[in-house]
Structure 1
Amino acid sequence: MSRGRNAQCIHPAVRQELCDFRQGLVTRREFLTRATALGTSAVIARGMVGMAAAEETPSEAPPGTALRIQMEVRPLKDPRTYDWSEIANISRGWLEYLVEYNRDGSLRGMLLESWEASEDAAQYLLHVRPGVTWTTGEPFTSGDVARLMGYWCDRSVEGNSMAGRLAALGDPQTERLAEGAVEVLDDLTLRLNLAYPDVAIMAGLSDYPAACVHARHDPATMLTDPIGTGPYLPEELVPTQRAVLVRNKAHAWWGAEADGWGGATLERIEFLDYGTDPASWLAAAESGEIDMLYENVGTFIEVADLLGWQRSEVVTGATVVLRGNQQALVDGRAAYADKRMRKALQLAIANDIALELGHAGLGTVAENHHVAPIHPDYAEVGPTEYDPALALPLAQEAGFGDLEHELVTLDDGFTRRTGDACAAMLRDAGFKVSRKVLPGSAFWQEWKDYPLSITEWNHRPLGIQVLALAYRSGEAWNETGYADAEFDAMVAEALTIADAEARKEIMARIERKLQQDAVIVQPFWRSLYRHVRPGVLGAEMHPSFEIHLYKLALEV
């Protein structure tokens, strides 16, 4: 932990990962995620596995260009409470991140230049990138990072999922940043002293609620008084209609001078909201109203191909989850608190059919535990049982055979179709099922509280990161209401194991625990697609739906 800032410290676990890669035991993506999370630079990690320079380096293009992106436009709010990627994709124009997660699975420093993890991953030495300034002209320093750790660790803020990501820095008694958890060593260096090891902490700092805000930040004035470190400023934001970013010509963006970065060539970026019906997105593409889709789904992928637009595809851990909320009441009864009722849902739903009908087969079948084969710490435990003949009798045994289940989904493409497919299979098994399909503005407001619903979940670099976010007791994003001390203890133990191969043993136990408790029906992993018109550069589909605005450009 005492090496100089220009020295590259290779973590002992990374050396073992490299041996595993060379023996064919891990994939290149798995190696990159594991190595960079522990402090190996993305450039060095790629070189260790024989890769060329990063594909994310933006192509050069002349200034004076504008780009129009189809994307839902949602209201801004306090970034640590962000719960949709689309919100962050707009504020990325001026609110940047300490760490960036890239398409190839690597983590690289943004406002951090580099970091080093101790052998047990209980300490991290962070090096702040020199030369970064806020739009106010103030330098971005290690003091800002220390302040941000306190901002993120505040559990009193409703919906603050960052507190869970940084739980190892928090004090469970005060629900704030623990005393001594952050040491500022100088203007560009600080140390994180974790209460217990956490291998996912750097990956958590790359997630979209981890936007870096100024000390003067006020969610109410984010648009009228936008302070950040990025190259753009917001000009307009009208929810459900449009948002506009323009180049901040008064601010010298640090990335323009950073070696090998370049980028931020656009003068204007427009986000245009055409609703949740993919047909309207393709109509806008065909009529020349947009240059880029946020994503494309189902049969509309072929339609965009026929338009001559360029397709980008990425295999991911993105998914949808059907869950009964164990804390919710249905007709005065906590139906989904009963494991037998939850197991009945699993028995009645064929995950392969949900994939075929819900997402046109564009993905892989999942195993009802929310850890994907693409995750470095995935353990193969096999699927859960599918036997619809056993489903209703088990629900009847629990006293819920006569219950009418209202399955709620967003009114979009694949989520709605997946909901329709699951509802049909439940009816075929003998259950009473009604459907409620809500527009985005209604669904988003109460997405965690519906008794039975299907929710979209983004890909994240590590499986254990997803489990800690979504299923640990009391976490802001725990929509299942699941609270199990044994599960929490296993997650805490897994977070302490730096070697992902060694972590797989306990990951297998965690995955089986989720299956045995029938916490979710998680039918498939999505392949994600994006189309852009010819001439759009730097817009390849990201596994977590991120749009790195500084990478976007247009050919002459």
Structure 2
Amino acid sequence: MGNDVPRRGADHPALATLLRSFRAGQLSRREFLATATALGLGASLARDVAGGLVLAQDVAPVTGGRLRIAMAVMPAADPRLFAWPPQGNLLRGMLETLVRQEADGALVPWLLEDWETSPDASEIVLRVRPGIFWSNGDAFGADDVIANLARWAEAHVPGNSMAARIASLCEKKREELRRVVFQRDGAEVEDEVAVAITGLAPGAVERVDELTVRLRPSRPDITLIPGFSDYPALIVHRDFDAAGADATRAPLGTGPWLVESFAVGAGAALGRRRDAHGWWGDRLFGPVFLDGVDFIDAGTDPGRDLSAFEDGRIDANYETAPTFVHEFDAAGLVRAEARTANTVCARMNVTRPPFGAREVRVALQRAVDNAVVLELGQQGYGILGANHHVAPFQPEYATIPAAPPDPAGATARLAAAGAGQVAFELVSSDVEVPRNTCDAIAAQLRDAGVEVRRVILPSARFWQEWRAYPFSATEWSGRPLAVQTYALAYRSDAPWNETGFADPRFDALLDQALGLADPAARRPLMAEMETILRDSGVLIQAFWRDTFRHMTARVRGLEMHPTFELHLERVWLATE
């Protein structure tokens, strides 16, 4: 859904450089949109510059009905603790983000009316959209934005990944002794440790007026605005904590629907908002068409989705597994697809023996041919990865010399590291893509003479401990900018750093890159970071995924968003 509100920022000095790069073929349309809109160029203007099609509806939309979607129903109490895209989808109809990333990569203002970034990215002015009301009648404004920023800044809250996204606005306040549970040498240990209590830095966030907030990060940070579009950045009411900090039990939102029911592992339902103020988008886009949305948890077996389609129990699915794409096509369902920066990372945690030894990690990484993993794990739907977690279609991607597979050298490397007799354990969930990816990796390791045991866990159990396994595979969604992924996953103290990777040089390069608006200026830094990360051996990151969704012919306006987001405001159900 487009947003044509005029935007400041069209005179940002970096935009001229971006436009030259785009016209010279150095940036794709998607790369240009992601970067230009992050700097404040309006999405409509950016699309006018970049070119693109506007598709008209062939028939008039129909109002009414409930869309039924097969998707995992996971715990979804507090957005800042979310770690998986389905959690965001469960609440996105009720809770909204300040900024939205659309399917073409453009960042559009949502709860914000616009934003303005200074030329050096050292100051950002956020302007809240006027006329937004919470479903309890409270006006939405600057105080809500600041309350959420303050919650996000609490890095000491376990699972709060938003602290990494706004790290440039935060500071350590003090230390407290707290009892924590953690993994040590494969065992669960409880101990009293000093925990750094963090919060917003003085002067980092200023309330200018009831609809304006000024941000002054401690260092230039081009990822702040893109980070506001991520699924843990769903905005909660300023009194969320006082009300129990559970959006599924105390439904209160700015969106067009509210949670009606919620049962983890079974289903969830959203119903149309009925309060006097209604959804703010009614004035800009018109009322939503759907009366409600029902999420049905059918488990991880793709065959169950197909049966549910055939029995008329669902209208769409969250994702179609690669091995079932043609089967769903043959059933007469409508396919939507996207080329994405989503991937599966088979990662090794350097804090868990024997993965503290670089030679062990490199031995396993180099024993694997990524082309084979793409074919077996993803059925060939996608493009090759290079073990450094930056996609070729992200703006700052740098091409670096390849490190070819070397399965013949695996056993010698392991022996040299004193790990020649180690039996490795590779863990995955039972979801098809990570399961098949790990099966393909394990088979190649065995062919190279490495002993490997596969462990496949029910997805709900895997998700609970996804950062704790010594050697396991995690699904990662793409981000508009590669530096966002690096800040979330590979900075030394990042909350989603599941590898334990810590490199001062990498961190310093990342800090520099976060202050550079021009992708071409970031690229030399990215080349070094990509090389450092790949050569550390912590990742077997074999491919970038093409993703698929299917739906019945009744469903109109539903896309396959490259990060799995469900934007349902313009979706409707045709009459049969």
Which TM-score applies when normalising by structure 2? 0.92
Contact kept, 8 Å, 2:7 with 2:42, in 1: the verdict is: no
| Structure 1 residues 119-268: aligned runs within 5 Å | 119-174=119-174, 175-218=198-241, 221-259=246-284, 261-268=285-292
Matched, 1:12 2:36: no
Partner of 1:277: 301
The aligned amino acid for 2:15 is: V
Partner of 1:23: 24
Query: Percent of counterpart pairs with the same letter?
Result: 43
- Deviation for aligned residue 1:59: 8.8
Give the 3 Å change call, closer, same or farther, for CA 203–59 of structure 1 in structure 2: farther
Contact kept, 8 Å, 1:103 with 1:542, in 2: the verdict is: yes
Partner of 1:326: 350
- Deviation for aligned residue 1:548: 1.3
Matched, 1:350 2:381: no
SS of residue in 2 equivalent to 1:266: coil
- Deviation for aligned residue 1:255: 3.8
- Deviation for aligned residue 1:280: 1.2
Among 302, 307, 310, the alignment partner of 2:326 is 302
- Deviation for aligned residue 1:254: 3.6
- Deviation for aligned residue 1:10: 2.8
Partner of 1:33: 34
Could you tell me how far apart the structure 2 residues matched to 1:191 and 1:7 are?
A: 15
Partner of 2:491: 472
Give the 3 Å change call, closer, same or farther, for CA 548–57 of structure 1 in structure 2: farther
SS of residue in 2 equivalent to 1:515: helix
| Structure 1 residues 51-90: aligned runs within 5 Å | 51-53=52-54, 61-90=61-90
SS of residue in 2 equivalent to 1:335: coil
Could you tell me how far apart the structure 1 residues matched to 2:245 and 2:163 are?
A: 21
Could you tell me how far apart the structure 2 residues matched to 1:56 and 1:324 are?
A: 48
- Deviation for aligned residue 1:239: 1.2
Contact kept, 8 Å, 1:263 with 1:553, in 2: the verdict is: no
Among 519, 522, 539, the alignment partner of 1:520 is 539
Could you tell me how far apart the structure 2 residues matched to 1:138 and 1:478 are?
A: 38
Contact kept, 8 Å, 1:5 with 1:127, in 2: the verdict is: no
SS of residue in 2 equivalent to 1:521: strand
Could you tell me how far apart the structure 2 residues matched to 1:392 and 1:549 are?
A: 52
Partner of 2:189: none
Contact kept, 8 Å, 2:9 with 2:39, in 1: the verdict is: no
Partner of 2:182: none
- Deviation for aligned residue 1:510: 0.5
The aligned amino acid for 2:327 is: V
Partner of 2:556: 537
Contact kept, 8 Å, 1:59 with 1:538, in 2: the verdict is: no
Could you tell me how far apart the structure 2 residues matched to 1:535 and 1:168 are?
A: 46
Q: Which whole-Å deviations, capped at 9, do the CAs of 1:290-344 have from their partners, x for residues lacking one?
A: 100101122211111111111111111000001111112xxxxx21111000000
Give the 3 Å change call, closer, same or farther, for CA 56–434 of structure 1 in structure 2: farther
Could you tell me how far apart the structure 2 residues matched to 1:56 and 1:100 are?
A: 22
Could you tell me how far apart the structure 2 residues matched to 1:498 and 1:419 are?
A: 37
Q: Which shows bigger deviation, 56-65 or 132-141? A: 56-65
SS of residue in 2 equivalent to 1:417: helix
Could you tell me how far apart the structure 2 residues matched to 1:122 and 1:84 are?
A: 30
Could you tell me how far apart the structure 2 residues matched to 1:271 and 1:324 are?
A: 34
Could you tell me how far apart the structure 1 residues matched to 2:59 and 2:257 are?
A: 18
- Deviation for aligned residue 1:58: 13
The aligned amino acid for 2:379 is: A
Contact kept, 8 Å, 2:7 with 2:41, in 1: the verdict is: no
- Deviation for aligned residue 1:251: 4.9
Matched, 1:361 2:380: yes
Could you tell me how far apart the structure 1 residues matched to 2:282 and 2:70 are?
A: 30
Give the 3 Å change call, closer, same or farther, for CA 202–75 of structure 1 in structure 2: same
Q: Which shows bigger deviation, 213-222 or 55-64? A: 55-64
- Deviation for aligned residue 1:383: 2.8
SS of residue in 2 equivalent to 1:374: coil
The aligned amino acid for 1:242 is: G
Q: Which shows bigger deviation, 221-230 or 437-446? A: 221-230
Could you tell me how far apart the structure 1 residues matched to 2:488 and 2:7 are?
A: 34
Give the 3 Å change call, closer, same or farther, for CA 197–220 of structure 1 in structure 2: closer
Contact kept, 8 Å, 2:385 with 2:543, in 1: the verdict is: yes
Contact kept, 8 Å, 1:58 with 1:537, in 2: the verdict is: no
Could you tell me how far apart the structure 2 residues matched to 1:169 and 1:540 are?
A: 34
Partner of 1:331: none
| Structure 1 residues 107-126: aligned runs within 5 Å | 107-126=107-126
- Deviation for aligned residue 1:441: 1.5
Unaligned runs of 5+ in 2: 175-197
Contact kept, 8 Å, 1:60 with 1:265, in 2: the verdict is: no
Contact kept, 8 Å, 2:467 with 2:498, in 1: the verdict is: yes
SS of residue in 1 equivalent to 2:73: coil
Give the 3 Å change call, closer, same or farther, for CA 270–58 of structure 1 in structure 2: farther
Could you tell me how far apart the structure 2 residues matched to 1:29 and 1:56 are?
A: 21
| Structure 1 residues 399-414: aligned runs within 5 Å | 399-414=418-433
Which TM-score applies when normalising by structure 1? 0.95
Could you tell me how far apart the structure 1 residues matched to 2:107 and 2:277 are?
A: 25
Could you tell me how far apart the structure 2 residues matched to 1:500 and 1:70 are?
A: 38
Q: Which shows bigger deviation, 288-297 or 56-65? A: 56-65
Partner of 2:446: 427
Could you tell me how far apart the structure 2 residues matched to 1:365 and 1:45 are?
A: 30
Q: Give the number of equivalent residue pairs.
A: 546
Q: CA RMSD in A?
A: 1.8
Could you tell me how far apart the structure 2 residues matched to 1:60 and 1:337 are?
A: 60
Could you tell me how far apart the structure 2 residues matched to 1:91 and 1:118 are?
A: 33
Q: Which whole-Å deviations, capped at 9, do the CAs of 1:44-95 have from their partners, x for residues lacking one?
A: 1111123345x69999633321110010111123210100111110111211
Partner of 1:92: 92
- Deviation for aligned residue 1:475: 1.2
- Deviation for aligned residue 1:21: 1.3
